[in-house]
Amino acid sequence: MRRRSFLAATAAASLLASVAPRRVFAQGMPSGDADPAMSSPEASLRVLLGEGQAEAIGNDAFLFNGNRYRGSFSVLADGRVVNDVPLEAYLYSVVPLEMSPGWPSAALQAQAICARTYVLQRSNPRRDYDLVPSEADQVYGGTRSESDAARAAVDATAGRVLRYGSAFAQIAYSACCGGHTEASSAAWGGAGFPYLEGVVCPYCDESPNYRWTADVPVDEVEQAFGAALAATGGTLRNVRVAAQDASGRATAVQLATDGGGTVIRGSAFRSGLGNRVIKSLRIYQLAMTGAGTLHAEGGGLGHGVGLCQWGARGYASRGGSAADIVGFYFPGTVIGNA
């Protein structure tokens, strides 16, 4: 995963409907300007596949390491293979990898609109490729991931993107917000965007991660934050949320020791113990127990910025359209043509 800056895509956790959330990702660029070279939905997109064996199997498909991909391929000077693929064909593979194809069509359509907008923000004619096929951008796997439902969602929204004014909206999404989405500025800094300030989300409570608990042995906590603790001296005595932002996410965590302790950023606390252990920064309870563990209770999975994927599922199951969904999570944006 790339650094979570506003110039780089980041991944968080999206998920498959019936199994545990897999991943997510976010992103955002400071200017919000579209790249004119990729402003047409018919334009070809360059996805770096990496090292491997590529072999054409017709005019519009090839095999890479045994898997079929749409489009054509080229080989960079260093031997890595790049897939040149039409945007809509790329989305056929991405949408069902970013959201379970068994979810309601309106949710899949909202995902398609988000994924398409994300790509159009990101293409870069000065690089040898536009995107990588992983969570750092969007997960892409060729035709093996495609499904009729996801293809239908892409086709139903063909060429449709999310705009704020004349610019493409900055797109972020994560698996489950836990009841309140996060402001992009709180998650990643910067000035933020009017449509990414965070909203109360009443739709994601069917997510298996809507509420979660974690119990981490104290020695693991001490190991994770050894450098910070060494500077304060003393034994770790307790851990608590020291500050929260407007969405209820921890911005600071205090590590209390005999020597007084120290305060670390919430994001450093989460990444230090593992993003799949502390599944979000919406932490409701955090304290050391007498049993030698740090007990945490929280809600949601991922950074929480932008589209809440489980919320999209819930809103769709209540009759919401794709336009309702993206309008709810990105208020003030409009759906337009690419």
**Shortest separation between residue 328's beta carbon and Zn ion, angstroms:** 10
**Shortest separation between residue 123's beta carbon and Zn ion, angstroms:** 29
Which is closer to Zn ion, CB of 207 or CB of 257? 207
Contact pattern for Zn ion over residues 136 through 175, marking x by CB under 5 A: ----------------------------------------
Q: Are 99 and 309 in contact (CB under 8 A)?
A: yes
> b/e map of 320-330 (b: 16 or more CB within 10 Å)?
bebbbbbbbbb
Binding of residue 199 to Zn ion (CB under 5 A): no
| 72-75 and 173-174 strand pairing | unpaired
For residue 93, what are its two tokens?
């593979």
Q: Are 54 and 81 in contact (CB under 8 A)?
A: yes
Residues from 177 through 196 that contact Zn ion (CB under 5 A): 177
Binding of residue 204 to Zn ion (CB under 5 A): yes
Number of residues that bind Zn ion (CB under 5 A): 5
**Shortest separation between residue 15's beta carbon and Zn ion, angstroms:** 13
Of 114, 283, 308, 316, which one interacts with Zn ion (CB under 5 A)? 308
DSSP character at residue 248: S
Which is closer to Zn ion, CB of 216 or CB of 322? 322
Collect all residues with Cβ–Cβ distance below 8 Å to 130 and sequence separation of at least 6. 38, 45, 46, 47, 119, 122, 123, 124
Binding of residue 201 to Zn ion (CB under 5 A): yes
Interface region with Zn ion, contact rule CB under 5 A, candidates 67-75, 141-149, 158-166, 201-209: 201-209
**Shortest separation between residue 314's beta carbon and Zn ion, angstroms:** 8
Longest dimension (CA), the chain: 69
Interface region with Zn ion, contact rule CB under 5 A, candidates 56-64, 197-205, 269-277, 280-288: 197-205
Sign of CA dihedral 153, 157, 163, 165: negative
Binding of residue 325 to Zn ion (CB under 5 A): no
Binding of residue 301 to Zn ion (CB under 5 A): no
* Radius of gyration (C-alpha) of the chain in whole angstroms: 21
Instruction: Tell me which residue of 108, 180, 114 sits closest to 148, measured CA to CA.
Output: 108
Which is closer to Zn ion, CB of 117 or CB of 209? 209
265: which strand partners? 252
Q: Are 310 and 210 in contact (CB under 8 A)?
A: yes
Of 71, 142, 311, 320, which one interacts with Zn ion (CB under 5 A)? 311
Give the residues lining the site for Zn ion (CB under 5 A).
177, 201, 204, 308, 311
